[in-house]
A and B are shown apart, each in its own frame.
Chain A
Amino acid sequence: MPNILSKSLRIALPLGLGLMFLLAVACGSPAANSETAPPAAGSAPEATAPAAAIPQQAVTTAIPVQRVESSSPTQQPAEPPAAAVRDRPTLKAGVIWLDSPLDPVEGGYVATQSAMSETLFRLSGTTLSPEPWLATEATQVAPLVWRIGIREGVKFHNGNVMDAQAVKASLERAIRLSPAAGDTLTVDTITVEDAQTITITTTVPQPTLPGLLILPALAITDAAAAYTAGEGNFIVAGALTGPYIPTEYTPKKHLNSVANDDYWGGTPPLAGIEHVAIPDTNSRELALQAGDIDVAVNVSPAGAQAINAHQGTHTETSGIGTSLVLWWVNFERGILADPLVRRAVAHAIDRESIAGLVAPPGSGSFAELLLPEELVACPGVNAPGFDPDAARNLLAQAGYTDSDGDGILDKEGQPLEIVIGGYPERFQLPIMAETAQAMLADVGIKVEVLITEWSVVKEPAWDLFGWYNTVVQGGGDPVFNISKFAGLRGDASGSGTNNYGHYDASRLVDIITPSTSVADLGGRKEIACEALAVVTEETAFLPVAHVNMVYGVSDRVTDFEAHPTSHYFFNHRVGLSE
C-alpha cells in the first residue's frame, strides 16, 4: 500500500469507521426502505374510545389508515396555512399514546382530544352533562325517537358544508364501519327533516342519547370525502370540522395541525398544535419544565410539585375525576375464581390509602365504586372496606392455612400466590401494585408484581391487572357504565372486549336485560344500582380511585380548560402568549 494513502487513511479512519457504521446500520436491513412506521392498528390501550373495539379481524387485516410520514409525497397538508397563521404561535403538547388512527370510526379519540374532530354533543367540563356542540338541541319526541337540531354555518376542513344530510351520512358511516358504535346507539333509522334537523329512531329506548353522541367514534365526518380519498388518505380528505386541521401524523410519535380559520366558533388563536407522544410520565414532566412542550397531559403528584415549583410552569387540575383506576380480577386462573379469596383480597388492600398516593387531592374515593357521585350514587351499596382481620377469616374459610410456617398461606400444598400486573405509562399502576403487594403480604398472600406492557392483560399471566379507565363514555347512562365495567361490553362495543378477566356475568345479564325497555333515567339508575350491588358482591373488579385530570401547563398558555375526561385536551380558545 502506498505510503501517502496509508497516511491519509490513518487520519480518516476514525471518522470513516463512524460513517461506515452508520451506513452499515442504515443499509443492514434488507427491507431498510420498504416500510415506514405503520400505526399500531387497534392498539388503543385504554378504554378512552368506544370504537377501539372494532372487530379484531378487521383490525388485523386492514391496511393501516394513517400512514403519514414527512417523506410520503401523497400526504400533503390538507390546506396551506393562511398567511395570517404565521404570526400566531404554535403550541406543543406532550401526550401519552397517540396511537389511534385519526378517522373516528377507527377508534379516533386522538382527533377529538386534539381539537380536530367534533361530535354532536360534548361533555361539560364542570357538570359532565352533554351539551350541544355540532348539534344545537336534542328532543326526545317519542320513547324511541329523538329530534336533533344541527348547527348552521359549520364547514368541513375541505370546505364542504355540514348539513343534516352530511350528519346522517356521517352517522351511518360510523354505524357501518364501527359496529361497536352501532351497537351502542341501536339506531333503527336516521331521517333528514330539513337542512338543520334530523330524527334518530332507535330500536330500544335511549333516554340518554345525547350522552351517547359524545362518543369520539361518532365525530361528524364528511363521509363522501372520506370514502373518495380512500384508505390511508384520511388527512387529505379534510373530512373533520374542528378548530385544528391535521397536517401530519406518525402514530406513536407526533401529530401536527394548523388552525382552521373557517372554524364556526371563531378563529383559533394558535397557528397550530404539535403533539408529541411521550409515554413516560416523568419524561413528560421534565419536557414541560425544559420548555420542550407547553402542555403535559396527565402528570403525577410528585411531578405536579416540581412543575409548580419550577418557574414558568404550573398545573391545572379538573374539578372532578372521571377516570377510574381499578384492578381487573382474573377469573380464569383459578385462585381468584374463589369468591372468598376475591373478597379477602378486597378487604386486605387499603384502597383508601392507595387512592391518596395515586390521585390528586379532591379526587373521588374508591368507596364511590364505579362512578363519581356526580353521575350515580347508589345508597346501600358499599365497597368492601379495609379490614385485614376479615380478610384472614375469609381466607381461613376458603381453606387456606400457613401449614409450613413460612408466612404464606397455602392449601393442599399450593402456596397462596398471585400476580398483580400493570403497565408503566400510567404512573398509578406500579405504585398500586407495589403497595398492594405489601398489604397482601400482611394477610399471608404472596404477590408477584408484573409491570409490563398493557397488552399483557390479554394473556393469562396475572390475577389482578391495574387499569386506568375513562368512565363517562355513556354520557350519563348508568346502565351503560355498569355493563362496561362488568365486562359485558367493551367501550360501547357490546363485544365484551374489556372483559379481560373472563368474568362470568350471567347474574348481571339477568338484571340488565330489562333495561332495554326502561326509558326514564330514574328507572335505569335503579337497575344500575342493582347491578352494582352484584358486581360488588362478586368482586368482579376492584376500583381504587377516581382520578382528577392534572395537566402540566406553561404559564404562557392562555384559556386552558382542564377537562375532567380524556376526550378534549384542547379547544378553539386555548392560546399561547409570547
Chain B
Amino acid sequence: MGAYLIRRLVTLPLLLLGISAASFALLNLAPGDPAEIVLRQRNPAQLPSQAEVSAMRIELGLDAPLPVQYVLWVSQALAGDMGRSYVTEQPVAGQLASRTVPTALLTAAALALALLVAVPVGILSARRRGGPVDAIARLAALVGAAVPSYALAYGLIILFAVKLSWLPALGYGSAAQVVLPAFALSLAPMAQLMRLIRASMLETLGQDYIRTARAKGLAEQTVAFRHALRNAMLPAIGATGVNLGYLLSGAVIVETIFTWPGLGQLMVGAALTRDYPVVQGFVTYIAVVVLLVNLAADVALRIADPRLRFSRDRM
C-alpha cells in the first residue's frame, strides 16, 4: 500500500507536467497569431500594423523560443496566473475559480443522484435476476444510456417547469434549480452504474466465498449485503474517475441549456471564440482535477478492497 502510494505520488508530477505540455502544445498548434487577435479585439476599427503585431508579440512574450514560453507558462500557472482571456482580458484563473463551485455542485448532485438510484436498483435487479424488476431495470438502463441529454433536458423543462410549474426552468442559486439539470446529467451515468453494479453483483454472488457463507447458514439477505454488496460497490468506486470525466463532459451541454454559470458554459464560449488562453487553462484544470480524483478513487479502492492491497499494480 505504502509503496503503491509512493509510486503514484512520484508519477503524479510527471503526469501533471505532461498534461501542461499537452495543453500548451494545443494552444500553439492552433492557427492564427495571438498577438493579432488581441490587437483586433482591442481596436477593431483599425487593422493592426506589422509593427504593432511585433510589439504585441513581445508584450505577450511570444517572441521567446517555445520551450522558454512553456517554462514561463508553467511557472506562472503554478503561481495561479494562467494568463488572460483574449476576448474579455480577464484573468483565466479567476474565471475558472468563480465557475468551479457551480459545476462542482451540479456534478456532485448528479453523481449522488446516480448512486442513490443505481446502487439499490442494481442490487435488487441482480438478486431478482430474470424477474420483472430485473427486466424493467435493464430496459430502463438501456433507454437511459441512449437518451441524448440535450433532448431530455428540454422535455424536463417543458413538463416540470412550464406545464406543471413544480420547478424552475433554469438558473442558478436555489436548491430547486439544481433538480432538473442534475437529473438530465445523471441519467446516463445512472444507467451505466446500474448495469455495472448488477453485473458485478451477479458475479460476486456466484463466487466461492459467498457459497461458503451460505453453507454456514447465514440468511441469504445478510450474505448478499455483507459480502456481495461490498464487492459490487468496488467497480462503482473504480468507475468514479470515468464517471467524473463523463459528468464534466455532460455538464458542458447541460450547463448551456440550463444557463448554469459553470465551467462548461465558459468552455463552450471560449471554444466558439477560439479564446485559446481560456481553452488551455480549462483543459489543464479539468485534467488535473480528473487525475487527482482518480488517484483518490484508487487509494480509496485499495483501502476498501484487501485483495488489491498487496497486488502489484501492473498497469
* Interface residues, chain A, with chain B CB atoms under 8 Å away: 1, 6, 9-10, 13-22, 24-26, 28-38, 40-41, 43, 56-57, 59-60, 252-253, 276, 278-280, 283, 286-287, 289-292, 310, 332, 452-453, 455-460, 490, 495-497, 499-500, 502
A290 smallest CB distance to B (angstroms)? 4
Interface centre among B97, B100, B297 (most CB of A within 10 A): B97
Instruction: Determine whether B219 belongs to the interface, using a CB cutoff of 8 Å to chain A.
Output: no
Partner among B78, B91, B165, B240 whose Cβ is within 8 Å of the Cβ of A35: B91
Indicate which residue in A24, A30, A59, A60 contacts B289 across the interface (CB closer than 8 Å). Answer: A24
In the complex, whether B79 has a CB less than 8 A from a CB of chain A is yes
Decide: A40 and B88 in contact? CB cutoff 8 A: yes
Cβ contact of A16, chosen from B82, B88, B104, B300, cutoff 8 A: B300
Kindly provide the distance from the CB of A567 to the nearest chain B CB, expressed in whole angstroms: 24
Say whether A499 contacts B157, CB under 8 Å.
no
What are 21 of the A-B contact pairs (CB < 8 Å)?
A: A6-B303, A9-B303, A10-B233, A14-B237, A17-B296, A17-B297, A17-B300, A20-B300, A25-B100, A25-B107, A31-B81, A31-B94, A35-B91, A35-B95, A278-B171, A283-B258, A292-B168, A292-B170, A453-B87, A459-B40, A496-B45
In the assembled complex, the Cα of A556 lies from the Cα of B304 at a distance in Å of 57
Interface residues of B in 1-59 (CB under 8 A from A): 37, 40-45, 47
How many residues in B have their beta carbons less than 8 Å from beta carbons of A?
73
B94 touching A36, Cβ below 8 Å: yes
Instruction: For residue B84, give the distance in angstroms from its CB to the closest CB of chain A.
Output: 9
Are B100 and A280 within 8 A (Cβ)?
no
A41 contacts across to B, CB distance below 8 A: 88-89
The chain B residue sitting closest to A452, CB to CB, is B272
* B184 contacts partner chain A, Cβ-Cβ < 8 Å: no
**Nearest CB in chain A: distance from B62 CB, A:** 17
> Which residues of B156-174 are within 8 A (CB) of A?
157-158, 161-162, 165, 167-171
Q: Which segment, of B108-116, B143-151, B200-208, faces chain A?
A: B108-116
Contact present for B244 and A21 (CB under 8 Å): yes
Closest 10 CB pairs of A and B: A35-B94, A290-B161, A290-B169, A31-B80, A458-B44, A31-B93, A30-B80, A25-B104, A37-B98, A40-B88
Please determine whether A289 and B162 come into contact, CB atoms closer than 8 angstroms: yes
How would you classify the secondary structure of chain B's contact residues: helix, strand, loop or mixed? helix
Chain B residues in 8 Å Cβ range of A28:
100, 285, 288-289, 292
Instruction: Known A24-B296, A292-B168; judge A30-B272 contact (CB<8 A).
Output: no
Q: Is B187's CB within 8 Å of the partner chain A?
A: no
Known: A290-B168, A458-B41. A17 touches B237 (CB 8 A): yes
- How long is the Cα–Cα vector from A32 to B258 in the complex, in angstroms? 24
Q: Name the residue on A nearest B110 (C-beta).
A: A18
Q: Which of A21, A24, A32, A495 contacts B111 (CB 8 A)?
A: A21
Give A38 to B169 CA distance when docked, in angstroms.
Answer: 26
B80 touches A34 (CB 8 A): yes
B81 nearest CB across to chain A (Å): 8
Closest chain B residue to A56 by CB distance? B42
A32 to B93, CA, bound (A): 8
Q: A10-B304, A13-B233, A56-B42 are in contact. Are A30 and B78 (CB under 8 A)?
A: yes
Specify which chain B residues have a CB less than 8 angstroms from the CB of A26 in the assembled complex. 100-101, 104
- Docked-complex contact B40 and A458, CB < 8 angstroms: yes
Residues of chain B with a CB closer than 8 A to A280's CB = 259
Complex contacts, B89 vs chain A, CB 8 Å: 41, 59-60
In the complex, residue of chain A having the shortest beta-carbon distance to the beta carbon of B160: A290
B303 and A457 contact, CB distance less than 8 A: no
A6 B304 Cβ-Cβ under 8 A: yes
The residue in chain A whose Cβ has the minimal distance to the Cβ of B32 is A459
CB distance from A9 to the nearest CB of B (A): 6
Contact pick for B292, options A10, A24, A30, A37, CB 8 Å: A24
Residue of A nearest to B108 (CB): A22
Q: Is B257 an interface residue (CB 8 A)?
A: yes
State in angstroms the CA–CA spacing of A457 and B41 once bound together: 9
Cα distance A393–B99 when bound, in Å?
Answer: 54
* Cβ contact of A29, chosen from B93, B115, B171, B272, cutoff 8 A: B93
